[in-house]
Structure 1
Amino acid sequence: MSSAAKTPIFLTGATGYIGGSVLQRLLQHPNADNFDITVIVRNAEKAKILESKFGVKVVVGTHQDLDKLETLAENAHVVFHCADADDLPAAQAILSGLRKRHAKLGDLPILIHTSGTGELTDDARGMYATDTIYSDLNVEQIKSIPPTAFHRNVDLTIMEADEQGYVRAHIILPSTIYGISEGPLFEAGVSNPHSIQIPLLIKGSLDRKRAGIVGLGKALWPDVHINDVADLYIVLFDSAVSNPEKTGHGWEGFYFGENGEHSWYQISRAIGEAMVELGLTDDPEPTPFSTDELIKYFGSEAAGNYSGSNSRCRADRGRSIGWKPRYTTDDMLKSIKPEVIAFKKKLEEKA
């Protein structure tokens, strides 16, 4: 690529929580004029808004349109894959496109893929905290994560691609992301402003009129604000583009997103306190979800028990390239009441 050419960027998940936040950062980037950004979205109305209001190129399609994903990746020097961390066919289509690009142009494309610290979970069911803490600078520890772990089959496929040398692959693994996203893309109704983990607990708690918890809530997870996560993508992107030799990729390219950790009890208790303040319950103390409730609120017992698992890590690698997260676990706990208010309002609008 000549220095005069714009950097072609392809991003998935533009209408989502993470993808929307990353796209917003790219549009506000100091070098935004040098970016040629393309996204794929299902919704034709949102596509129109992205094109007319934000100047983004849009292909209307889904992640099941593997031929489109492959072509869009082939046409990009940088791919931000911010959508489903468990969609192996989609990841394979993106890698296939990047392989074609490398073969055709000799370009070494950059992939920034989204996974999650769900990879580190156990089956604690809220009954204990683990002593095992992962560091993303500890490559042998990262390699030791079993292939059966959440998200791992996709991550291993991406590692293989990096080893084959046709892509520089980086994987960001956010933890419990929190905060209601704000900014032009969210105000325009293009992107989803809410996370998944804490809102699932809130919605279940509102329905049962008492804060719910898995087991005793003793297990520990890291947390990270949506603004800090979006910053991590941009810090990594800037580093990968301007200083590739000093930016870890492949097995040295795992970047955890965390800035503190919490117990599940702390989250459920904060939900309970918010519900008491809003007159939705008379007792802030959470009570355990029954098996039937786990199925009702999370889709299955196993999915519910995920909210009682341990996942402990330290984001050492991101910090080593200049990432400076600002929000703490205290901020996470303070963010819960506004989320409870938001979901209470949504329930009232449906009623």
Structure 2
Amino acid sequence: MKTVFMTGVTGYIGGSVAARLLKAGYQVNGLVRNEKDFSALTAVGIQPVAGSLEDEAVIAREAAAADAVINTASADNPYVVATILEALAGSDKKFIHTSGSSIAGDKGRGAYAAIEPYTFIPKNPRLEKAARVAIDRAVLAAEGHYSVICPTMIYGTGTGIKKDSVQVPMLTEAAREAGHGLYIGAGENRWSNVHIEDLANLYLLVLEQAPSGSFYYAENGILSLKEIAVAISKSLGFGGKTASITIEEAIHRWGMEGAHFGLGSNSIVSSVAAHNLGWLPVHNNLLSTIIKNDRY
């Protein structure tokens, strides 16, 4: 049985990826900061490894001992990635790093942008995303069997111990407080999206079949934030009623990152590389998932 060392197993993406690997017959050893999570992870078959992202020695030891490594804990921590790359140097072990499609985002403030879907890392990312892009490029350029997966707006019930995603729950909580759906500016900005189960399947496929230095966006649909706000309004019993908020109000509520690159931007990408690898996503139903009050 092959062993995969993972960061982020208590998170939404990491927990779902770990569950998919376990189902496929892998042993998963997961870095876990809080001991209170040990029993829940052990119950589903994950071997907890005590430590945090600050524990370089633990990460290096576990990476060197495993057959493969997957980082889902942080797209923006260069120290974790550097530690893993150093630990795997000279080996033929696979490493998958998780990025995020805000690297392809603009600063649209809710306005529509006619953007050609990105198929690879932007050549000239916005300053706010330059550091994340630098990590992605470093992984792809390193001597080894390494890949980067770049998820879009993720939805669906997580199959790990964390069930909910990030962006849609942020909007749902705000809508519940306001009594109607919310979007920024015109709400015409668009995000590519992907179901968590399809995303987890992509990780397994990349682990088993991807060539070295490969980069994959994960998407199977695209929607405007206003469309999502309407669906949230219906799911909460508000009859589809929505309202716009300014970017300043959004920053006050969600912070600079959440407002500009989480909910106010256009992030439009293409998963053509993943399809060429053999990825066949089956879900394309974000709006119906929201309206049915499913977990997302």
Corresponding residue of 1:159: 137
TM-score, reference length from structure 2: 0.91
1:212 maps to which of 176, 182, 199: 182
Distance of 1:66 and 1:338 partners within structure 2:
43
Deviation (angstroms), 1:158: 4.9
How far does the alpha carbon of each residue in 1:52-94 deviate from its partner, in whole angstroms, 9 at most, with x for none? x344322112112222112221222311111111122222222
Does residue 197 (structure 1) correspond to residue 157 (structure 2)? The answer is no
TM-score, reference length from structure 1: 0.78
Give 1 or 2 for the bigger CA radius of gyration: 1
Distance of 2:80 and 2:142 partners within structure 1:
19
1:64 maps to which of 50, 54, 61: 54
Aligned residue type for 1:14:
V
1:42 maps to which of 33, 39, 61: 33
Corresponding residue of 2:125: 146
Tell whether the 8 Å contact from 1:214 to 1:305 is kept in structure 2 after alignment.
Answer: no
Deviation (angstroms), 1:204: 0.9
Matches within 5 A, 1:301-312: 302-306=257-261, 307-312=263-268
Tell whether the 8 Å contact from 2:104 to 2:122 is kept in structure 1 after alignment.
Answer: no
Tell whether the 8 Å contact from 1:120 to 1:149 is kept in structure 2 after alignment.
Answer: no
Distance of 2:272 and 2:158 partners within structure 1:
25
Distance of 2:101 and 2:247 partners within structure 1:
24
Tell whether the 8 Å contact from 1:124 to 1:309 is kept in structure 2 after alignment.
Answer: yes
Matches within 5 A, 1:108-119: 108-119=92-103
Corresponding residue of 1:73: 63
Change (3 A) 1:291 1:265: closer
Change (3 A) 1:234 1:292: same
Distance of 2:171 and 2:203 partners within structure 1:
27
SS in 2 for 1:207: helix
How far does the alpha carbon of each residue in 1:205-258 deviate from its partner, in whole angstroms, 9 at most, with x for none? 111112111011111111111111011111111214xxxxxx2x32xx110000
Change (3 A) 1:154 1:284: closer
How far does the alpha carbon of each residue in 1:303-330 deviate from its partner, in whole angstroms, 9 at most, with x for none? 31331211111101111111000111xx
Tell whether the 8 Å contact from 2:104 to 2:125 is kept in structure 1 after alignment.
Answer: no
Corresponding residue of 1:95: 85
Change (3 A) 1:147 1:202: closer
Change (3 A) 1:158 1:295: closer
Tell whether the 8 Å contact from 1:256 to 1:318 is kept in structure 2 after alignment.
Answer: yes
Does residue 257 (structure 1) correspond to residue 212 (structure 2)? The answer is no
Q: Which runs of 5+ in 1 are unaligned?
A: 1-5, 137-141, 186-190, 241-246, 344-351
How far does the alpha carbon of each residue in 1:28-70 deviate from its partner, in whole angstroms, 9 at most, with x for none? 10xx1xx44311112213213333x344322112112222112
Change (3 A) 1:109 1:295: same
Aligned residue type for 1:304:
A
Distance of 2:290 and 2:166 partners within structure 1:
13
Q: Percent of aligned pairs with the same residue? A: 29
How far does the alpha carbon of each residue in 1:146-200 deviate from its partner, in whole angstroms, 9 at most, with x for none? 27353x53443453354341x2221111101011224xx4xxxxx2100001111
SS in 2 for 1:318: helix
Q: Provide the aligned length of Structure 1 versus Structure 2.
A: 295
Tell whether the 8 Å contact from 1:115 to 1:173 is kept in structure 2 after alignment.
Answer: yes
Runs of 4+ in 1 over 6 A off after TM superposition: none
How far does the alpha carbon of each residue in 1:78-128 deviate from its partner, in whole angstroms, 9 at most, with x for none? 1111111112222222222222xx2xxxx2121111101110000111122
Tell whether the 8 Å contact from 1:130 to 1:219 is kept in structure 2 after alignment.
Answer: no
Does residue 125 (structure 1) correspond to residue 103 (structure 2)? The answer is no
Deviation (angstroms), 1:284: 2.3
Tell whether the 8 Å contact from 2:31 to 2:50 is kept in structure 1 after alignment.
Answer: yes
Which has the larger helix fraction? 1
Change (3 A) 1:98 1:49: same
Q: Which moved further from structure 2: 289-298 or 57-66?
A: 289-298
